[in-house]
Structure 1
Amino acid sequence: MNNQVTPVNVEYGDPSIALPNEILRSVVGSGVHGIAIAGTDDHDEMGVYIEPPEYVLGVRKHRDDYIWRTQPEGARSGPGDTDLVLYSLAKYLRLAIKGNPTVMLPLFAPEESLVKVTPLGEELRALRSSFLSRQAVERFLGYMHSQHERMLGQSKRNVPNRPELIAKHGWDVKYGSHALRLAHQGYEIASAGRLTLPMPDVERERVLAVKRGEVPRDEVSAEIGRLEAAVRDLLDSGRCPLPAGADVEAISAWAISAQRRHWGW
């Protein structure tokens, strides 16, 4: 008798609300950055949907996201797996206004990485510059620090372990590639007020070299430190071209209009 239990997909939220009301979805993760390596990365997608008016205006609480994963609860995603997260418009905008590096990706993703985009989704993407701020730069640095600590084995958090990478390279090169990517992107935002996706060729090839285990860990760590110092100098000297925070008024005005139009009001 075969007593094996077939793993089930993970699903949270209401697909009947999220999926028909999507306005934007893109590939995120390594694919959108241009640093995916065939056979080593899972597939991540993120999107935005507009909740029905009773969800927004009523008093009952409803889940404000939809999550679907091919792997069962507690299992790490691997090559060939898909992770999907859709956020309600309000939740998405709150996260993007704070400069969450992952949440901002659908705003800057290239056309070939878009899975779905409606006219309202195009309008949201046209607002992308309104989300860039010095606060967003700080958030990129914060995420960079987290990945850097994990790369060095210094994190006290319960984080995914990749023993296969440690056995092959002596350290987790994937954390190293993420930390270096975030450092380069934080510098681009702080210096030029933009985020280029996929990454520019020179930076992208350097991050890929780290991900392939071709760069020693100490060299990667030193490079991250130099980039962080450069970003900090831009912020502290006032040479960063960005405002302190996102343009909340413009974003909020658009969100009100978008929801009204989506509802046919």
Structure 2
Amino acid sequence: MADGIYPTLGRQAGLLREMNVIAQNIANANTTGYRAEGLVFSEFVVRADGTAPSISFAHANGRQTRFAQGALETTGGTFDLAIEGEGYFQIDIGGVPHLTRAGAFLAGPEGGVQTAEGHPLLDEGGAPIFVPPGTANVRIAPDGTLSADGQPLARVGVVTPLDPGAMQRHAGTAFRADEVEPVESPRILQGALEASNVDPVLEIARMVAVQNAYEMGQGFMDREHERMQSLLRLMDQL
């Protein structure tokens, strides 16, 4: 029984985790700068005792982020920024720089440019960007240079991780990366935002496929349970 039930249980657990990942993607289909995730299945082989055949288990503990660029949407907002091409904005979360493609920034009460959650936007030197209160004309050039009333104040930092695969999602649209480097020729669009790169149609198709696979595994476990129950009843009659 274990040769069939235990591997199936491992597969069912992995399918449930994949369903949760798909649900999270669908829930963030309209989240600015969101990066879709996928689950990575791997094989784990357990050697059996004696001459019995080994048992292959399916593990689904790895996650893979999809870094394809989302659609760019014009908003006209002064501090709405989108990166065309490679690179990430840097924001300060609890004193630690994080990377994000979600450029829906706003002016804070003391002149700081920040996210809706209050995380400061950082310049190319890693310092928070400030705009003098009462400034009427704020312009951000494609290279990230921020000017207020015609006077350059700072340059928005755009960086890229040395190892994109090692980035860790902090929460929602923010990522941690241990090593980053500046993008030589960034292209920032003011008055625009990058949409989520989630494809809802693809995610729904994946959800249906995962649901079918789960039901197939559940059917196998039900039949195996009935078989063992029949075997036990037969043994009781002997």
Which structure has greater strand proportion? 2
Q: TM-score scaled by structure 2?
A: 0.30
Q: TM-score scaled by structure 1?
A: 0.28
Higher relative contact order (CA 8 A, sep 6+): 2
